């Protein structure tokens, strides 16, 4: 299991955003404990999916870049004259 450890300041900021969401979208007030537990649950359950998607995106980007580098290297080749 991938554990996502956030700095305290980031975790508090996300908890406030969760509380704001519940207040504005659901007209519910939730406390720090509930917001923290929901955040922990979301990180635990959604974190691996997000992490894997980020890796797939990075893999795709690197593959494209290497293909471009490979093409660039071929353009640097010098012709060899037959004797």
Q: Count of domains in the chain?
A: 1
Domain membership of residue 1 (yes or no) is no
* Any domain includes 2: no
Q: pLDDT tens per residue, the chain (83 residues)? A: 567 889 999 999 999 999 999 999 999 999 999 999 999 999 999 999 999 999 999 999 999 999 999 999 999 999 898 88
In a domain, 82, yes or no: no
Whether residue 83 lies inside any domain: the answer is: no
Three-class SS of the chain: CCCCCCCHHHHHHHHHHHHHHHHHHHCCCCCHHHHHHHHHHHHHHHHHHHHHHHHHHHHHHHHHHHHHHHHHHHHHCCCCCCC
Domain that holds residue 54: 8-76
pTM: 0.72
**Residue 60 located in a structural domain:** yes
């Amino acid at each position: 299991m991938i554990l996502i450890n956030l700095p305290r300041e980031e975790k508090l900021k996300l908890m406030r955003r969760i509380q704001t969401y519940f207040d504005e979208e659901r007209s519910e007030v939730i406390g720090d404990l509930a917001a923290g537990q929901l955040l922990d649950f979301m990180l635990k359950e959604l974190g691996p999916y997000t992490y894997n998607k980020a890796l797939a995106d990075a893999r795709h980007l690197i593959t494209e870049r290497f293909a471009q580098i490979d093409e660039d290297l071929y353009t640097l080749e010098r012709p060899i004259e037959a004797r």
